[in-house]
Amino acid sequence: MATIPVGRDPGSVAVDPNNNRIYVVNRLDNSISVIDGLTNTEIDTDNDAGNGVTRLSFGGAWAVAVNPTTNRIYATGGSITLRVIDGASYSTVADVSIVSGLAPGSLAVNPATNRIYVTTGNGAIVVVDGLSDQVIANVAVGGGTYGGLAVDPIRNRAYRGSGSNVFVMDGATNTPIDTDGSPANGITPITVPVLSDIGGIAVNQDINRLYVALGQNGNIAVIDGSTYTVSQILSSGGNPVDVAVDKANEKIYIARKSGNQVVAVEASTNTSVGGMVTGATPQAVAANEGSNRVYVANAGSTTLSVLNGTYLNHLPLQSSGFRRIDGTGPVDVHVRPGDYEDMRVFVKMPFAVPDGCADASWNVSLVWTVRIHAS
């Protein structure tokens, strides 16, 4: 649908469906781009056109999340800071010190409790109260290396990925959950039965499932949140680094870093239903359930891809990103208003072409009908 230029190394993306805003962290530019989801344009956050489009400036900016209920934007950055930004004025409300000397990693918000969670490299989840902007707990859940972080607001759970493990925290008591129920062997995380470097994690709280991108392992783990067990391993390939859930449209979207693709998976069947080519080296994906748009941050091309969920879910993935329709013609293509704004139709003919045509596979002299219907 659209490709929006952003800053260098866009590595984290968050969507505010209430205000239709998309936030992108440009890690190498120490900045955050704010995108208007209606116009697909970048917002000038200082409202001064004279100095060009001004991004939010934040040294060391790494991850971003939104609380749509309060219209607060949260970003980790520097070595110790959670920045709190007012989504209406784009002014900094507070800089919250997290853990001295440890760079904050992933970030997640529970809008139901107005709590913000930040992972640190020493295996903790730091809990910040969104009303007071104060750290209220530092919970040693386990794990070392950074992986994704996700929240289930219905059950008040936080999930922290690290290596091949997902550590679970009870958000009501701010204590780790022992997922095997056996205290004798200590606090037990959920373990993915393959060697992995867990990247993004997403929760579908409606069906209590957790989706974990397994990075170079090439798969997605589906975890049953009621039993804390891996119920399925979905083969993805292409180094899946991030995953997003669209509950309203019952889809999971997977960003494949080395494949330069986003893949759509049907939530009820866990089967792939489509995909599209993105920019180069996608490394973060988010979905807007309200507008049925999917956003992919492409590190290699410094862009944000805006994809139409309806289009994405009906497009068999091919290397070119095009859908092939076989037939003898005429061919009918049905288009719903708003779905296929950027759709173009190419007709390829298996016949010889007249002299003078540059591409021997295209025959411009043959009459063949493609009927496009609004339906």
Residues that bind Ca ion in the complex, under the rule CB under 5 A: 44, 46, 48, 51, 54, 178, 180, 182, 185, 188
Nearer to Ca ion, 228 or 311 (CB): 228
Query: What is the smallest separation between the CB atom of 56 and Ca ion, expressed in angstroms?
Result: 11
CA pair distance 222, 272, nearest whole angstrom:
14
Q: What is the closest distance, in whole angstroms, from the C-beta atom of residue 284 to Ca ion in the complex?
A: 25
Give the nearest distance from C-beta 311 to Ca ion in angstroms: 33
When the beta carbons of 182 and 320 are compared against Ca ion, the nearer one is 182
Shortest distance (Å) from residue 320 CB to Ca ion: 38
Neighbouring residues of 100: CB distance < 8 A, sequence distance ≥ 6: 79, 80
CB of 112 to Ca ion, least distance (A): 28
Whether the CB-CB separation of 25 and 63 falls below 8 Å is answered with yes
186 or 338: CB nearest Ca ion: 186
Q: How crowded is residue 332: how many other Cβ atoms within 10 Å of its Cβ?
A: 12
Q: Which is nearer to Ca ion, 9 or 46 (CB)?
A: 46
**CB 225, CB 241: distance < 8 Å:** no
- Our CB check for Ca ion shows the closer of 46 and 170 to be 46
Closest approach, Cβ 323 to Ca ion, in A, equals 40
Of the two residues 181 and 356, which places its CB atom closer to Ca ion in the complex?
181
* Residue 155 falls in which region: left (phi positive, over 0), alpha (psi -120 to 50) or beta: alpha
Nearest residue (CB) to Ca ion, 176 versus 215: 176
List all residues 6 or more positions away from 327 whose beta carbon is below 8 Å from its beta carbon. none
In sequence order, the β-bridge partners of residue 290 are: none
Q: Which is nearer to Ca ion, 54 or 270 (CB)?
A: 54
Task: For residue 213, give every residue at least 6 positions away whose Cβ sits within 8 Å of its Cβ, in sequence order, or none.
Answer: 148, 198, 199, 200, 201, 220, 236, 240, 241, 242, 243, 254, 255
* Contact of 114 with 67, CB cutoff 8 Å: yes
Report the nearest approach of Ca ion to the CB of residue 91 (Å).
14
Residue type, 175: T
> Is the Cβ of residue 111 or residue 123 nearer to Ca ion in the bound state?
123
Which of 178/224 has CB closer to Ca ion? 178
Query: Minimal distance in Å, beta carbon 45 to Ca ion?
Result: 7
